[in-house]
Amino acid sequence: MNQSEYREFAKAANVLGRSVIEETIDVVLPSHPKLAKKLQSSIERGPIEKPEKHEGGKETDLFRVVLQESEVEAIVELFGDLEVSVAKEVVPDLSGIEPSFTLEQWCERLIRYAENDA
């Protein structure tokens, strides 16, 4: 795979980075264990092949994530609620989770899903 093909994959609605998927698993696991398992299976299938000259390590892995639009909506809702909780300071420790960034990533995916349906 060359660089331009890889960049196109990265823009796809069903492609996310390792950190976004891992953070999402941590957040959705308590209330949506089946969805968390589905996300985990995306990681277990392995990352998208990187171009030969790609210099990033494991932290730059990209994965295909196959979810229904309703599942993406549930994730967006959970991260929206989490962001509100953080703003109200009712969440004591997020262990490095950045709800704003992760929410933004999922919202972008939801928009792309909608565009593909149009």
Q: In this prediction, what percent of the chain has a pLDDT beyond 90?
A: 23
- Model confidence pLDDT, tens digit, residues 3-27: 888 888 788 878 898 988 998 998 8
- Please tell me the predicted confidence (pLDDT) of residue 118: 44
How confident is residue 115, by pLDDT bands cut at 50, 70 and 90? low
Residue-wise pLDDT for 80-108, tens only, equals 887 766 656 655 455 556 666 676 777 77
Helix ranges (DSSP H) in the chain: 3-11, 18-28, 33-44, 69-87, 99-117
Q: What is residue 25's predicted lDDT score, i.e. its pLDDT?
A: 93
pLDDT at 110: 67
For tokens 């004591």, name the residue. 92
Kindly state the helix (H) or strand (E) to which residue 62 belongs, with its residue range.
strand 62-64
Distance between CA 83 and CA 60 in Å, rounded? 25
Confidence (pLDDT) at 39: 95
Strand 15-17 vs strand 62-64: parallel, antiparallel, or unpaired?
Answer: antiparallel
Measured in degrees and rounded to the nearest 5, phi and psi for residue 63 equal -130, 145
What residues form DSSP beta bridges with 17?
Answer: 62
The residue that leads in pLDDT, 108 or 115, is 108
The predicted model scores a pTM of 0.74
pLDDT recorded at residue 90: 54
